[in-house]
Amino acid sequence: PDGAAAGAARERHRRLIKPPGSLGALEELGARLAAMAGECPPPVPEHPAVVVAAGDHGVLARGVSPWPQEVTAAMVAGFCSGGAAVNAIAEAVGARVSVLDVGVASPLQPHPRLRSAKVRPGTRDISREAAMSREEAARAVISGAGIAGELVESGADLLVTGDMGIGNTTPAAALVAAFTGRPAREVTGRGTGIDDDTFRLKVRVIEQALELHGPETADALGVAAALGGLEHAALAGVILEGAARRVPVILDGIAANAAALVARYLAPECAGYMVAGHLSAEPGAGAALKHLGLEPLLDLGMRLGEGTGGLLAAPLVRAAAAVLARMDTFESAGIAEG
């Protein structure tokens, strides 16, 4: 990110026809967008695109979720046919939906909206062995980067991370614990909805995984391979590629936040291109965002994933850029300042 462009945006905000600071968080968001683009005013994003990365999880065998693994594939089919929450919300905010299979266990029907880049049919159980090899993690990262790059080439100017994977809040919480250093019980949530017994089991499973692998944040790819999911690795790639192309990347919930930590520890500067779309109801989300130094734009108690919360922030990002790009200054409007 370009500090001079951010400074120019802050200075421009003082000259726009409104009291200084009166647009609240939108003003600093605008400055960050200017920094990302390296120019002030920043371009106004007109073509948001969400990448929903999908994968399955060996740790599901431990009973961390009430949903069967087959639901991952069924939901991917839903994203393709257009009947899922991500589709409804994407349409509402004018975004396009792409689905990336990096690790769904069940076979999937081909579909124009679905990119097949299956690295392996689901991860291994992180509480007993590494989720995947380092090479597999790298391949998932590259797949995410690849689809992000193609979306930008074809006109996307705002990326949103989405995820699908039954059981994936378990590896997400493990990644958050590993990168933030917080205990598992503080960053583990109830995912799609589990009872007290399952919650205690989930915390224990994550503690076992952390103990088994002894993650070192200096080796972020190793952490992702040991504890993560294929979709988390892929979303880290989406973030890295967005940053490399100077396109803002809106993070959705806990899966995206965990992926953002992986990306941040692989290449610290990429954090400058992240926008925290919302604060997921999952406790690990807040911990991850705090560690990343990001303030969420929305706090609606959402915990679905798929990119739904991130998409809802897309109009806010567009508005933050638009006020810098389209408003008059006191001078141009001939208004005396108060």
Question: Which residues participate in catalysis according to the annotation?
Answer: 306
Q: According to CB under 8 A, which one of 76, 236, 304, 310 is a site residue for a copy of itself?
A: 304
CA nearest neighbour of 302 among 212, 192, 222, 208: 192
Instruction: Please state, in angstroms and rounded to a whole number, the distance separating the CA atoms of residues 13 and 7.
Output: 10
Residues making up the chain, counted from first to last: 338
Strand pairing report for 48-55 and 158-164: parallel
Positions in 252-281 near a copy of itself (CB under 8 A): 281
Tell me how far, at minimum, the Cβ of 129 lies from a copy of itself, in Å: 26
> Does 107 participate in binding a copy of itself (rule CB under 8 A)?
no
- Our CB check for a copy of itself shows the closer of 264 and 318 to be 318
Burial track 85-94 (b if 16+ CB lie within 10 A, e otherwise)? bbbebbeebe
Binding residues for a copy of itself restricted to 173-212, rule: CB under 8 A: 192-193
Q: Which of 75, 221, 259, 270 binds a copy of itself (CB under 8 A)?
A: 75
What does the alpha-carbon distance between residue 259 and residue 91 come to, in Å, rounded to a whole number? 25
Nearest CB to a copy of itself, comparing residues 116 and 329: 329
**Region of 51-59, 180-188, 200-208, 316-324 interacting with a copy of itself (CB under 8 A):** 316-324
Least distance between a copy of itself and beta carbon 90 (Å)? 9
Contact yes or no for 275/248 (Cβ under 8 A): yes
Task: Tell me the β-bridge partners of 278.
Answer: 298
Q: Does 21 bind a copy of itself (CB under 8 A)?
A: yes
Q: Closest approach of Cβ 250 to a copy of itself, in Å?
A: 13
The two tokens of residue 138 are 């790298």
Ranges assigned E (strand) in the chain: 48-55, 96-103, 114-116, 158-164, 249-251, 274-276
Min dist CB 333 to a copy of itself, Å, is: 6
Give the shortest CB-290-to-a copy of itself separation in angstroms.
Answer: 17
Q: 48: which strand partners?
A: 158
Count of positions on this chain that bind a copy of itself (CB under 8 A): 64
Task: Closer to a copy of itself by CB, 28 or 186: give it.
Answer: 28
108 in contact with a copy of itself (CB under 8 A): no
For the CB of residue 237, give the shortest distance to a copy of itself in the complex, in Å.
Answer: 26
Is residue 301 near a copy of itself by the rule CB under 8 A?
Answer: yes
61 binds a copy of itself (CB under 8 A): no
Under rule CB under 8 A, residue 156 binds a copy of itself: no
List Cα–Cα distances, 241 to 14, 84, 144, 147, in angstroms.
Answer: 33, 26, 8, 9
Closest alpha carbon to 228 in 162, 132, 313, 154: 132
Of residues 274 and 304, the one with the C-beta less far from a copy of itself: 304
| Pick from 252, 239, 272: nearest CA to 31 | 272
Q: What is the DSSP string of 53-74?
A: EEE--GGGGG---SS-THHHHH
The residue ranges that bind a copy of itself (CB under 8 A) are 16-26, 44, 65-68, 70-71, 74-75, 77-78, 81-85, 87-89, 91-93, 192-193, 281, 297-304, 308, 311-312, 314-316, 318-319, 322-323, 325-328, 332-336, 338
